[in-house]
Chain A
């Protein structure tokens, strides 16, 4: 007695192959749609903005005259901002991840913390802006400085860095940890010599991707009151400054048509900035990642 009737299977085969083809087309169309929109966006920005990407654009401060408007203050300001966000968020984020993955015992409180860190990653950025305004700008009286904005942005991307670092640490096989413990190594020696060397490519990749989110984020900066027209460069961490997304936002909302082109040029600069950061992340991942 056979249960599979091969003749019937062959007869129905055509129908199955057609359904397969239909779904393939649907999924391809979905991909194509996203790519097309992206291509149109790129085309518009490049065609509008590339004419404004002159050496003067990088040397001038903001101006009422579109031809004289430059991105110097915003570009340097964003780099200053990153100099605060990167160390603060990476040190706090990786430290938290190490504690949660390697030291924390499994109990309800720690499970609750773990779960809520993932939830924090989904909180809207404007909420973090309000938090920054209350704590750093007002309570700690840092004003709308590089430091206040840097701390706020660090809080914003901290959950992403923690979750990324936790995953990188978890990916280190348990048996090399056991090998280290088995020789009498302490937890910290094992983390430093075995876990981190293997986890660092993954940790850095996640951190850089999180940082590039911080570079492009606007809402928290608006909430904590970062100015848009700045005619000086920051001198120290307590200086006022402006950042790329603020500058672009300001240009884009101006009535003169020419400023739309300036905004496009600013977007191009921001995108190149992000592209460079992401390339570094990919480079680190490919160069240093060890496979088990």
Chain B
């Protein structure tokens, strides 16, 4: 079952450029076996897309990478996920430490009901940065990084809820950049946005991959084809195929991948 997909070109990658190395990951919600023997290697400074039909486990997988999935009380896992060669399930690996290095952008824009400034400064503040001068710089840098600085620089003190959905999502991306993460996880970040906002976020992702490793879950296959370097196809909790995006969308090895990307199901 594990052999049914190509292991990328793992042998040629030197270990230091691998951000996440998932080995034999299994996950259960109570009795429901949601992830089955997942093996995936994710490289730095790439955009890795995870595609698949609803309920295939793609959101569960990305939420496992920063252990957010554990907010569901009945979750059990087995196997390992090595983040920078350290198993994130180790008892002495604190989730707070992991999540400081691995930021997350959610499906629905979820800014805090606070000012734009306080939204961006939230992360640095909880990690102990108090200096107003430094916070000012972080806020500007993060908003520029999320390509929304020009739109909001004159109203940093207005409530983030007064912005449009697309702007809110870019605020959430900026909020995530403010903790200067190593990896950014994106769980269907454009599914609640209109096409123009979606385009802006996609352009942003292209710019962000210069500095960050990005893992994005999407059920929009065109989006995966447009923005990602690697694509993993999930089905029923298994990785069916994982390869460079070009290969997946032109010459997939597995029949099921071909059926899915050609729109025959899902």
> Which residues of chain A from 70 to 125 have a CB within 8 Å of any chain B CB?
105-106
Could you tell me the distance between the alpha carbons of A31 and B98 in the complex, rounded to whole angstroms?
58
Q: How far is the CA of A198 from the CA of B122 in the complex (A)?
A: 15
Cα separation A40 to B238 with both chains bound (whole Å): 72
- Number of A positions contacting B (CB below 8 A): 21
A21 interface residue (CB < 8 Å to B): no
B246 CB, min distance to chain A CBs, angstroms: 31
> What 0/1 readout, one digit per residue, does chain A (182-204) give for beta carbons within 8 Å of chain B?
11111001000110011000000
> Is B103 in contact with A193, judged by CB distance below 8 angstroms?
no
Check A178/B106 contact, CB under 8 A, given A184-B99, A184-B126, A185-B96.
yes
Range for the number of chain B residues in contact with chain A: 20 to 34
- A198 to B112, alpha carbons, bound, how many Å? 10
Inter-chain CA distance A198–B103, complex, in Å, is 24
- Determine the distance from Cα of A173 to Cα of B110 in the docked complex, in whole angstroms: 9
A235 within 8 A of B: no
Known: A183-B175, A184-B100. A105 touches B73 (CB 8 A): yes
Contacts of A186 in B (CB 8 A): 96, 126
Given known contacts A183-B123, A184-B126, A184-B179, A194 and B112 CB-to-CB distance under 8 angstroms: yes
Chain B residues with CB below 8 A from A28, complex form:
none
Taking the complex as formed, is B127 at the interface, i.e. its CB lies under 8 A from any CB of chain A?
Answer: yes
**Given the complex, which residues of B lie within 8 Å of A182, measured CB to CB?**
66, 68, 99, 103-104, 106, 176
Contact of B112 with A183 in the complex, beta carbons under 8 Å: no
Chain B residues lying within 8 Å of A141, measured Cβ to Cβ, are: none
**A290: interface (CB < 8 Å):** yes
Contact A181-B108, Cβ < 8 Å, known A105-B73, A193-B126: no
Structural contact, B113 and A290, CB atoms closer than 8 A: yes
Residues in A whose Cβ lies below 8 Å from that of B112: 176, 179-180, 194
Which residues of A have CB within 8 Å of B99? 181-184
Q: Which residues of A contact B126 (CB under 8 A)?
A: 180, 183-186, 189, 193
* Interface residues as binary, A155-178 with B (CB distance below 8 Å gives 1, 0 otherwise): 000000000000000000101101
A23 at the interface (CB under 8 A from B): no
User: What chain B residues lie within 8 Å of A183 (beta carbons)?
Assistant: 99-100, 103, 122-123, 126, 175-176, 179
What are the residues of chain B within 8 A of A185 when measuring CB–CB? 96, 123, 126
Q: A179 CA to B169 CA in the complex, in Å?
A: 12
- B103-138 CB mask vs A (1 if < 8 Å, else 0) is 110101011110000000011001100000000000
Indicate if the CB atoms of A179 and B175 lie closer than 8 Å. yes
A292 to B111, CA, bound (A): 10
Question: How many angstroms between the C-alpha atoms of A269 and B1 in the bound complex?
Answer: 79
Closest residue of A by beta carbon distance from B179 = A183
Distance (whole angstroms) from the CB of B65 to the closest CB of chain A: 11
Question: What residues of chain B lie closer than 8 Å to A178, measured between beta carbons?
Answer: 68, 71, 104, 106, 110
